[in-house]
Amino acid sequence: MGNAYEMMAVGENCPGYMPIYDGFQSSTGEPENKSCRNCLNFENEICTIDYYDKVVAGLDQG
């Protein structure tokens, strides 16, 4: 997996992003910073729905 900035960029652009509620979310119900690290689909440093590499590839083309 990538660094913290890459994980945030993927979180912001991932269609499968689902935030983990940690009690510190904003009034909109979204975490302050989207990141793979606070996504329900990210377990043990792996994207369980296989979006990470696809989203990173899309970012590189943008």
Amino acid, single-letter form, for residue 8: M
Q: Does residue 25 have a pLDDT over 60?
A: no
The structure's pTM equals 0.78
Residue 60 · residue 6 · CB < 8 Å = no
Could you tell me the pLDDT band of residue 22, with boundaries at 50, 70 and 90?
low
Residue range 40-57, pLDDT digits in tens? 999 999 999 999 999 999
Q: How many domains does the chain have?
A: 1
Whole-number Å distance between alpha carbons of 6 and 45 = 13
> What is residue 17's predicted lDDT score, i.e. its pLDDT?
96
Token pair in block for residue 47:
């994207």
What residue numbers bound the domain in which 38 lies?
4-61
Token pair in block for residue 36:
């793979």
Residue 11 · residue 35 · CB < 8 Å = yes
Between CA 16 and CA 18, with CA 17 as vertex, the angle to 5 degrees is 110
